[in-house]
Amino acid sequence: MIEESDLTGPEAFTLIALRHFADGQGRGARPSHQRLARMMKFCPRTIRAAIVGLEAKGFLERRRHPGRCDEYILLPRQGMPRQEMPSGKSCRTPRQEMPDTPAGAAYDQDPGSGSSDQDPGVSAREEKDLLSRYNGSKQTILSALAEVAETRKRRRVAPSVRVKILRRLDQYPVAAVLEGCGIYTRKHYGRAGKAEGYLAAICRGCAREREAKDASKPQKGIERWV
């Protein structure tokens, strides 16, 4: 059990949070450090240290993906066999409980385009949390969601789909997402029938380009002391 292990407080809370994102086999958890920090009211540095500790103690395995958030695989340990998780079932919050926020008329519930039995209050809190990392640039994201709505017959995106889109974008750096959303909106890709998958691909491409540029920059601060 976690309480019987040698985990620190931040490590225990981080492990519990990662279980929220993992599937029934303990795989697929890819939240950003910033999102974990917001969830648990820790600073990102504490989250990074907790993940390093969990990895060193054999609680998780980290797989790096260039341009995207790392993937965390939860490993079975004493008192925590993986088979205790219901096989094939996700540890994520059920879809009907996923938060979502109304961002305008273009995003109202569209019958047939997503679940309509969500709790509006919980949904609003979740989308607000997902949008909070963009600070004063939220309108760029909302404009991209409005453009995605152009791919729907009724020009609306279901609340559950909005949250899904924001979660997908959450794995990329803020600057890359804002750049990608700007491109998607300016070029009216939604009106051309290219939906949220295309938006995510643009953001992924922007993230990779930025990472490549950063890697090619000389480490002047380091070279000065070498």
Q: Which two tokens stand for residue 2?
A: 């976690």
Chain segment 172-226, per-residue pLDDT in tens: 899 999 999 999 999 999 999 999 999 999 999 999 998 888 777 665 554 443 3
62 by DSSP, 3-state: which?
Answer: strand
The confidence band for 160, taking pLDDT boundaries of 50, 70 and 90, is confident
Q: In order of start, what are the domains of the chain with their CATH numbers? A: 2-84 (1.10.10.10), 95-215 (no CATH)
3-state secondary structure labels for all residues of 150-183: CCCCCCCCCHHHHHHHHHHHCCCCHHHHHHHHHH
Q: Across all residues in the chain, what is the average pLDDT? A: 75
Is-contact 71 65, C-beta < 8 A?
yes
Phi, psi of 55 (to 5 degrees): -70, -40
pLDDT band of 5, cuts 50, 70, 90: low
* CA–CA distance, 186 with 209 (Å, rounded to integer): 19
Is the pLDDT confidence value at 110 over 80?
no
Q: Whole-prediction pTM value? A: 0.49
Q: Looking at residue 218, what is its pLDDT?
A: 67
> Percentage helix, strand, coil, to 5, in the chain?
55, 5, 40
CA dist., res. 39 & res. 72, Å (int):
17
pLDDT tens profile 14-67? 888 888 888 877 787 888 888 888 888 888 888 888 888 888 888 888 887 766
70 or 195, greater pLDDT: 195
